Chain A
Amino acid sequence: MAGIISSYLPEAALQLAYLVAGILFIQGLRDMTHPRTATRGNQISAAGMFLAVLVTALWFEILSPLLVGAALLIGGAVGVWLAVTVETTEMPQLVGLFNGFGGGASALVAGAELIDQFNGLAVGALPIGLTASAAIAGIIGSVTFWGSLVAGGKLHGVVGDSPVSTNVGHALKASSLGIALVAGLFLIVQPDLLGAAPLAGWIPSYWVLVVAASLLGIFLVVPIGGADMPVVIALLNSYSGLAAATTGFVLNNTVLIIAGTLVGASGMILTVIMCESMNRSLTNVFFGGLGSDDGDSEDMEEIYEGQIQETSGDEVVMLLETARRVVVVPGYGMAVAQAQHAVAELVELLDEDGVDVEFGIHPVAGRMPGHMNALLAEADVPYEKMRELEEVNPTFSQTDVVIVTGANDVVNPKANEDDGSPISGMPVLNVEEAGQVIVNKRSLSPGFSGIPNPLFARDNTSMLYGDAKASMQDLVNKYKEARS
């Protein structure tokens, strides 16, 4: 393929350009370690991508520049359109969707490369390195594509999100994995079962592998509940990176290997962090359902009966006027109600009046690692006011008022107190240690875990019923009135 350019330059020039691109990816990630440099890091990483694509296109002197140009234009336009129209609350499903496309592209490239190489060759003529890498890229890529589509669909509410766990489901997973592995093995070993037939006879085994792996991706994610989607998306992100790295093995392309591995590592680390934040193991996420409804409804009445105190906006404002330290604990309910701007305004007013006010953010608040931070940043909340769980927990005993808005499971004391509970051992925000807890919620309904929250029945807890946006806006207005 290499044409005019490669006749003037040695192969090393291409490899050096790939090395530079790899360095740019690594430097870009290094800059992501601080918010001040993160924007630059993203740009550096994008520059690395541009360089890698440009050099590849020039070097290989693509046979049909028109075709590749058209594909780049179509893909670019769709990407831009999706990115500029997305709401911050919908970010997780979009990231899931993008992820799936990356994985799908890997599976298709491996297949296309196999077809190219197969042409007219005899059985056993393909190097094992190529067929093995193609088989792995095919399996991982297909699982990533379909798994991400289902995960995105669940987050978007088009696919049911309740967790189910059945023996039939486990059997389906096992058999589709089995078929994919056997097909992959045929591809790798290339046995001459078809006699001296040309290798083309074995092409279908790659597509059997793709179909089986696609089914595996669907069977794996469909039974997982919506609460576990952050873990699934992080894991699939890691897979799409590994698929890219494997494609690099197939095509002998160094920059694919470096970049794919970095993504694989990033996704894996985020997966582990998310699992730890929920005190769940990966096996538990994939094979067990969270939350049960047996007997919990009676339990709920027993806990809440006669123990619930209701409060009003006026009362909350009176509390805020005398408070010296206030912590706001936001949850996904706040994001769905688009209340982050009202919350940010309230925090700003308190800050102006000399109140020590901060946000306490649970790592799984939202639908993706760090999702809540992104939502608050959108509402111009300063980075310094966002505190992580380990930082904010020791301060609750010196906090006068905690406002919990749209959050539920992440402040459930059952995680610390009740060994038998499904969320037992999960690190939570210990808001009940504060002087007064205000829980803003539309009703007493349970959160994702499906269990009641004894926090609501505590002596120092009052419920502020209502939609998060309306309630917070009401607090802002009343606080302003009281101030003037």
Chain B
Amino acid sequence: MTFVQNLTLFVLAAFVGYEIITKIPTNLHTPLMSGANAISGITLLGSIVVAGSGSTGLATGLGFVAVVMATINVVGGYLVSHSMLKQFSGGRN
């Protein structure tokens, strides 16, 4: 049952994503990409759960590496987008 609920969520999110993202202008595609990239670092959550709850040393070790990688993705992605977007909105008019 949970699988079906997850699937429902997945399909609905895909529709919402399509509707919004097709409205984003070309000019903003690079910041969109690095922003979306940062969002994909949401695996950080999975990493945190596993790194913390690992009952074996190996699982904990893998989780640790995963947290490091995902954090680089999240922090770096948002910062890169931010510095790009600041230039877009700050341009003289």
Contacts and interface: CB of A to CB of B under 8 A. Distances in A.
A75 B72 CA distance: 5
A265 B73 contact: no
A254 interface: yes
Interface string B51-65: 111111011101111
Interface residues of A, number: 115
Contact of A109 (B18, B32, B43): B43
A32 B32 contact: yes
Interface string B5-34: 010011001101110111111111111111
A124 B34 CA distance: 41
A234 B83 CA distance: 20
Dominant SS among interface residues on chain B: helix
B6 to A, nearest CB: 5
Given A53-B48, A237-B33, A82 B76 contact: yes
Given A102-B37, A108-B66, A38 B73 contact: no
Interface string A236-266: 0100110111011111111111111111111
B51 A261 contact: no
Interface residues of B, number: 82
Contacts of A254: 6, 9
Contacts of A119: 55-56
Given A67-B51, A80-B75, A119-B55, A45 B38 contact: yes
B92 A380 contact: yes
Contacts of B75: 75-76, 79-80, 83
A256 B33 contact: no
A75 B9 contact: no
B25 to A, nearest CB: 7
Contact of A49 (B16, B23, B74): B74
Contact of A383 (B21, B64, B91): B91
A169 interface: no
Given A33-B23, A53-B44, A60-B53, A75 B69 contact: yes
A352 interface: no
B20 A60 contact: no
A248 B6 contact: yes
A101 B81 contact: no
A39 B66 contact: no
Interface of B: 2-3, 6, 9-10, 13-14, 16-18, 20-56, 58-60, 62-93
Given A88-B84, A105-B44, A371-B30, 14 more contacts: A35-B89, A36-B89, A45-B39, A52-B42, A71-B64, A79-B72, A98-B34, A237-B36, A244-B40, A247-B46, A248-B6, A254-B9, A262-B21, A384-B93
Interface of A: 1, 22, 25-26, 28-30, 32-36, 38-39, 41-43, 45-46, 49, 52-53, 56-57, 60-64, 67-68, 70-72, 74-76, 78-80, 82-84, 86, 88, 91, 94-95, 98-99, 101-106, 108-109, 111-113, 115-116, 119, 129, 233-234, 237, 240-241, 243-245, 247-267, 269-270, 273, 361, 363, 366, 368-371, 373-374, 377-378, 380-384, 386, 388
